[in-house]
Structure 1
Amino acid sequence: MLPNNGSIRKYVDLHIHTTFSDGSYTVKEVMEAAVARGLSAISITDHDCTDAYPLALQLGRSMGIEVIPGVELSSDIQGTDIHILGYYVDITCPALINKLKEMKAARYLRAQKIVSNLNKQGVDLRFDTVLSVAGLGAIGRPHIAAAMLKEELVYSFREAFEKYIGYGLPAYVEKLKMQPREVFDLVKQAGGIPVLAHPAVTKVDERIPEFIRDGLMGIEVYHPEHPRAAERHYLKICKKYHLAYTGGSDFHYSANHHKSDIGLPRTPGGTVKSLKQKLVPAL
């Protein structure tokens, strides 16, 4: 945990999840943690959801922290799951609102199908339990795994994925797919900046020039699963292609996700400046 002192106000965290997707902190708890860690700016990037706003913006003003409206969207290219972060999105944009509603409905139907597949395999999981675990969040496989744990149908979160709901397993159901270009277009239509999330995890470096041609404007450089060599590598790519560079904890506060805390890895405040330089001035 980072110490609470003024010397680290130059740091930010631009990749945080809340209970509105698959995180376990409420918006208020996230904001309080950001204050405690002395962060100058944050972005809540829930999966397929911007419901954390406008409360986060309101709390940010009262707490003295800059809050950048954000979202994390999934895309697929030739079977590879690619996550795109959108920053400075207009949460009132009709196109974005409609697509997020569509994706939330698709997540609900997908979860129902996964539970049905589990039931067919003799795993007596109740969909009501999944709903109670997900709460207000957009339902995802982590909620289903947590529900399986809650009903003592598996011994661990990992077992749920490796035995039942992981990619290619009998209970797995494909999610609603968008092409990366569709996501770039959607984020930009909402006035935002599309950024490739944790590229060292997805390993699609060879497609970065293609993504840039299609509208990508930045790369997440700092991430819990990016060693220093990866940070240097992606900073060079950002410099070469004149891209924004970002970073964050990808915080979920769960042993089932990346073992990171809000504010770690330390992401320099210059990332916010690099994003702002990509904003198109309003006419």
Structure 2
Amino acid sequence: MTGKVDLHLHTNYSDGALSPSGLLELAASKQIKALSITDHDTVDGVKEAMRHAARFGIEIIPGVEFSSYHNDQEIHILAYFIPLEDPELKRYLTFFKFERERRAERIIAKLNKMNIDISMEDVRLCAGRSSIGRPHIASALIKKGVVKNFPEAFIHYLGNQAPAYEKKVFVAPDTLFKLITDLGGLSFIAHPGNMPETIIKDLIEMGVDGIETVHPSHNQERVAFFTNIVNTYFLLGSGGSDYHGGKRNDDDNIGRYFISAEQLNKMKQNVTKHIPLD
């Protein structure tokens, strides 16, 4: 295979705007030959995409994006080449779904104490089939006329310093790395951006397989910086557009932020290293 590879995309199964088939259609128009749908804490979008992939001539790499926490900093971890029907993976995904809903309930309770009329049912209607998150609560607040837009919702109510904020329940990075390895997959630090190098080194010591070097938030200097870390520690490099669509106006990122087929092939060669031989 030759061509562009985008290993970081979201659908409306999490916080993206497009359906899996809609995303495939857009990716095909941008000459993407292989991609990974990395929705937050769910692989349902991957399953749907696989049913449509042949029609668009696109290879699907099974993926998911997990949230974690280390040294007071939230970290996102990308997992690739995971078996979608594995019972242990399903157990973790069920846990994350449960915790997302409990967090939403805690946020709604705080909003209710502020005399804001919003219910879990309002949020579920906005989320649809997606895994529930703060953007869906923001959508409900907009529909209720409490705020005019997403920035206002996060500044006044939902952001990390706002009065209705509630922390996530996280699984430790080393636990997620072990899970991904045991599943036969590969783990990557997602969009490290300005993450302190000390944290990156901690994650390397914990056993992460690679770093997402290419990302819209990384300028050329950061790409070079992370590529140097990858080469120094004999890790793998990944990358993609982190496309969400909708009001984010990031359609131009698809086809602009990508890795090569050669890099994907290197990842595939390393997958076999995790497969038990006995």
- Say yes or no: TM over 0.5: yes
Number of residue pairs the alignment of both structures matches? 275
| Equivalent in 171, 178, 183 of residue 185 of structure 1 | 178
Q: Which residue of 1 aligns with 2:202?
A: 210
2:221 to 200, 207, 229: 229
Conserved in 1, the CA contact under 8 Å of 2:41 and 2:65?
yes
**What one-letter code is carried by the residue in structure 1 that aligns with 2:147?**
V
Flag structure 2 segments of 5+ consecutive residues without an equivalent.
none
Q: What is the match of residue 141 of structure 1?
A: 134
String of CA shifts for 1:70-113, please: whole Å, max 9, x gaps: 00000011321100000101111111110100110110111111
Tell me the secondary structure at the aligned position of residue 56 of structure 1.
helix
Structure 1 match to 2:13 = 20
Kindly provide the amino acid, as one letter, of the partner of residue 136 in structure 1: R
Alignment of 1:1-283 (within 5 A): 10-201=3-194, 203-256=195-248, 261-280=253-272, 282=275, 283=277
How far is the alpha carbon of 1:149 from its aligned partner? 1.3
Counterpart CA distance in 2 for 1:11 and 1:183 is: 28
Partner of 1:6: none
Contact 2:77 2:187 (C-alpha < 8 Å) held by counterparts: yes
Higher percent of residues as helix = 2
- Say which is worse superposed, 54-63 or 125-134, in terms of deviation: 54-63
Q: Which amino acid aligns with 1:26?
A: S
Structure 1 stretches of 5 or more lacking a match? 1-8
Aligned-residue offset at 1:259: 7.2
TM-score, normalised on structure 1?
Answer: 0.92
Deviation at 1:61, TM superposition (A): 2.9
**TM-score normalised by the chain length of structure 2:** 0.93
Q: Could you say what the CA RMSD is over the residues aligned between the two structures, in angstroms? A: 1.8
